[in-house]
Amino acid sequence: MSRFIAEFACNKPDDMIKFISEDFFLKEGFEVANVKGEIVWKKGVGMMTAPQFVKLVYGGGKVHIEAWLKYAILPGVYAGEMGLDGFMGALPKANLKKRVDTLIGLLNQVTPADAVPQGAPAAAVQGAAVPPAGVPQGVPQQAAAAQPTPVPVAVHNPTSKAVLALVMGILSIPVSWYFSALLGIVLGIVGITAGITGIKSTSKVMAIFGLVLSIIGAALGAVGWILNIVLLAA
């Protein structure tokens, strides 16, 4: 299948695109990799699910995104590519598509600079009429205006992963102990994965609780699974 491709103009400076995208990828657990000469963002090695790849190219306010998954023969050993359509691998495809949509939304956000009418005087854009905070009184306004003013932007805040980690952690313990050890392990792993990402959000405390509970649930499931094997073999 062909890769998922999105091209759009977000009309933002390259340094802002770089900041928003790098913050997003690092929070989501991606890392930079060189794949057959392509510099991409990669997540996973194929132990539990298909590894995810995103290629981001930008310049002059225009953005080009490619996203795909690969078949993992062994952890770190990949075969062909999968796009984000089709039934095979539907869950990891939907997961990656959601990540790409989130990134596109962040890059297309409206900033205060976007709200300035075209043709407005430079002084209005730079705030030259009012010296920035921290500039001593008596400094000429021209010198004050020359100092760059940070533009506030929204960055990735994966609070939903913190909530997911807490829910999975709470469920994994009773499920592992009373119902199914294997299902408890799965719930615990999902909670651990979500918790690692959720810690990087504003709901850090919730993510930590979820991560701890998920580790306990997965550990209980593993113990129960081993005990079941031992009892069956006895």
For the chain, what are the domain ranges? Answer: 4-107, 159-233
Residue 137: predicted pLDDT: 45
Residue 143: predicted pLDDT: 47
Look at the alpha carbons of 174, 180, 182, 186 in this order and tell me if their dihedral is positive or negative: negative
Q: Tell me how far CA of residue 18 lies from CA of 15, 31, 186, in angstroms.
A: 5, 14, 35
From 103, 113, 123, select the one nearest 151 (Cα to Cα): 113
Contact 224, 184 (CB under 8 A): yes
Topology of domain 4-107 in CATH is Alpha-D-Glucose-1,6-Bisphosphate; Chain A, domain 4 (3.30.530)
Residue 7: predicted pLDDT: 96
pLDDT per residue of the chain (234 residues) written in tens, 0 to 9 = 589 999 999 999 999 999 999 999 999 999 999 988 999 999 987 656 778 999 999 999 999 999 999 887 776 677 788 888 877 768 888 889 999 999 999 999 987 766 655 554 433 333 333 344 444 444 454 544 555 556 577 888 889 999 999 999 999 999 988 888 889 999 999 999 999 999 998 889 999 999 999 999 999 999 888 887 887 776
Residue 153: predicted pLDDT: 78
Residue 195: predicted pLDDT: 92
Helices (H), the chain: 14-27, 90-107, 122-126, 141-146, 159-174, 181-198, 204-233
Other beta carbons within 10 angstroms of residue 160's beta carbon come to 13
Rounded to whole angstroms, the Cα distance separating 167 from 161 reads 10
> At 197, which amino acid appears?
T
